[in-house]
Each structure stands twice: as C-alpha cells, then as structure tokens.
Amino acid sequence: MPLSTRLPDAEALCVALAAAMRPHVDPAATVLVGIHTGGVWVAERLHAALGLKMPPGSINVSFYRDDFSQRGLHSNAKTSQIPFDVEGAHIVIVDDVLYTGRTIRAAMNELFDYGRPAKIDLAVLTDRGGRELPIAPSFCPHSLSLPAAQMLALERAADGGLSFRLITE
C-alpha cells in the first residue's frame, strides 16, 4: 500500500516509544527536551507515560541551524524553555521525525550553551532516512523511506490527538 494512503499511526508510535524507553530512563534523573513543535508534543506524552519527575523542556533550534541564513526565522518561532540544570544531566532530545540530522545537531549545540550534559539520547517517532550527518536515534519505533520531495508532518488536533500528514513539496 502506498505511504500516501497508509501513514504511520502517531498515537500507537507514542505508546511504542514510551515502552522502548521505559527500561532505560530513571524517572527521578532523566529529563526530556522536545524540539518545537512536534517534538514538544511527543515529549509531553512521554513525560506523562514515563512518570518523569522533572518537567520537560522545549527547544527552538532556529538560531542554531546551519541553514539559518537561507531559511530565516519562522514568524511563529517559540522560545526555548529549559527548566532544569543541564550540567551533568541525562537528557533525551525528543523529535517527531528524524531526517537529515541537522535539527538534532542544532539542538545539541543549543543545549551545550546551557551546560555540559552527562549523556544525551535521541527519541523520535519515526526515522525517514536521508541522513546528512552521523546522527542516529537511541529510541525509534518506526522507520520509513521517503523521497526528498515529501515530508512527514506531525499534527495535533484540538482534542490533543496526534497524527501524521504527508506533504509533497
């Protein structure tokens, strides 16, 4: 069945991602940082499912991207919120879709401006391939292959439900 008619189930992937992470996180010591916007939504779900003590952070990598001069700043850019001490922390960066790795590199660069974490893991709902940097997820319940002209976008409904939409550029 073509991907355009059968997109991955984002809700089921959130459950699978939490299950994969559970044995590897310490609820009292692990912190999540979601990348705006989809990663923040997933981080909120994971925080609740894993019973983590520290509130999740959110990060906007716009200023840290290596293509900032080409892309510019989105008009709806959010600020980063890191409500915990990064120094020595076990941080899990959370995003919805892993593609080239450049967004994750930008997130790590910004985190290091706050301090030096003891460990950084990466959790994503799906890995779509197409890596340009040697970055791999620690936790990822789903993989797929998409042509460069297509993008998998996570959307949140008014009731909080998550779903994927395929966008062709």
d(CA 39, CA 2): 26
Q: Tell me the CB-side half-sphere exposure of residue 30, using CA atoms within 13 A.
A: 22
d(CA 59, CA 40): 8
H or E stretch at 61: none
Per-residue pLDDT at 169:
84
Share of residues in the chain with pLDDT > 90 (%): 85
Query: Nearest 5°: CA angle at 40, between 93 and 67?
Result: 70
The one-letter code for the residue type at 95 is D
Average pLDDT over residues 134-155: 96
Task: Name the domain count of the chain.
Answer: 1
Average pLDDT over residues 46-53: 98
Token pair for 110: 């910004």
Token pair for 7: 């997109």
| Contacting residues for 12 by C-beta, under 8 A, at least 6 apart | none
Per-residue pLDDT at 1:
37
Instruction: Give the domain extent around 162.
Output: 3-168
Per-residue pLDDT at 65:
62
CATH assignment of the domain containing 86? 3.40.50.2020
Residue 80: strand, helix, or coil? coil
d(CA 95, CA 61): 12
d(CA 165, CA 154): 6
Q: Which tens digit of pLDDT belongs to each residue from 61-119?
A: 987 866 545 555 555 667 899 999 999 999 999 999 999 999 999 999 999 999 999 99
Residue 162: strand, helix, or coil? strand
**pTM, rounded to two decimals:** 0.92
- Of 113, 86, 92, residue with least CA distance to 35: 92
Q: Tell me the CB-side half-sphere exposure of residue 71, using CA atoms within 13 A.
A: 13
